Amino acid sequence: MKLVCISFAISVTISSLLIIISTLFSKKTILDREKSSPFECGFDPKNTSRVPFSIRFFLIAIVFLIFDIEISILLPLSIISSTIPPMVWILTGSAFLAVVTLGLYYEWAESTLEWIT
């Protein structure tokens, strides 16, 4: 137990030192207006270079990731279908799909899936 505590203390100390050293050396001391502005062939930019990020796009991307992960969770069910009884396999898959479908219905009811700019 003592060895675990010592190794934990050493790892926390090393991690903290690395974080402190990286923040000390990564600070930019000189902010140059020319370097922070976008490059437009020597001319001053007419408008901001940063386009505001749409939160709708982010929410739709999250929903896509959820369904992508859902497919990766359902694929092993078909692989192990020969080792478990068919009724358990069907109930497990159906329950999981029902929960995901309810989540999709909730997203649809909250109109998260509508693209409004």
Q: Tens digits of per-residue pLDDT, 43-97? A: 655 666 566 667 777 777 887 888 888 888 888 887 887 888 888 888 988 998 8
52: left (phi over 0), alpha (psi -120 to 50) or beta: beta
107: left (phi over 0), alpha (psi -120 to 50) or beta: alpha
Specify the pLDDT at position 30. Answer: 61
Specify the pLDDT at position 22. Answer: 86
Specify the pLDDT at position 16. Answer: 95
Give the torsion sign (CA, 4, 6, 7, 12): positive
Which H or E element spans position 20?
helix 2-26
pTM: predicted TM-score of the whole model, two decimal places: 0.46
Residue the block writes with tokens 């790892």: 11
